[in-house]
Amino acid sequence: MDFEFKADIKRSVEDVFAFFRDLDQFAGRKGSIVPILENITPGPVGLGTRYYEVVQIMPFITGEVFSEIAEFVPNQLISYEYTALGMKGNLTYLFEASSDATKVFQKQSFMPGGILKVLSPIIKAMFSRMAEKRLRSIKDLLENEGASKI
């Protein structure tokens, strides 16, 4: 399954990239589908940084995600390889500066295996809504309440 999402965030590319680079510092916010996101490697964020994440899939149902940064180009790209619910996947954020905003392109792919393969249409619909909501909430945070916190 492949997904693509886009958001125009009215902030500089440096601010937007810094937020995504340090995303673990913003986990657990009210209404977030990510109550836990922890950087589990010492040192500055970059190639090889690993994360542990808990994602709220449905009320009272969560899933664990283990990820590692596979590509890292400041102010341009962050790409992760991850394992979640027995699936391997890739998540890439591309950042492009424009005159009044930063364009964020989110590309993600994974393939359910085993019994989850049968549930692929449901998983695709649920995941699409969750990922879109997450990117929209990041946009709202950066443009509104987070403006002075980054």
2-143: CATH homologous superfamily?
START domain (3.30.530.20)
Tens digits of residue pLDDT in 40-82 = 999 999 999 999 988 777 777 778 889 999 999 999 999 999 9
pLDDT higher for 72 or 121? Answer: 72
- Res. 7: pLDDT tops 80: yes
Helix (H) or strand (E) holding 21: helix 13-21
Tens digits of residue pLDDT in 122-132 = 878 888 888 88
Domain boundaries, the chain: 2-143
Nearest by Cα to 138 from 25, 30, 20: 20
pTM across the whole model: 0.86
Pairing verdict, β 102-110 and 87-97: antiparallel
Q: With 0-12 CB in 10 A as exposed, 13-18 as middle and 19+ as buried, what is 67?
A: buried
DSSP letter for each residue of 52-82: EEEEEEETTEEEEEEEEEEEEETTTEEEEEE
N- to C-terminal Cα distance for the chain? 33
- Res. 92: pLDDT tops 80: yes
Residue 42 in tokens: 């010492």
Helix (H) or strand (E) holding 86: none
Max CA pair span of the chain:
47
- Res. 148: pLDDT tops 60: no
- Res. 150: pLDDT tops 50: no
pLDDT at 33: 67
Tens digits of residue pLDDT in 103-113 = 999 999 988 87
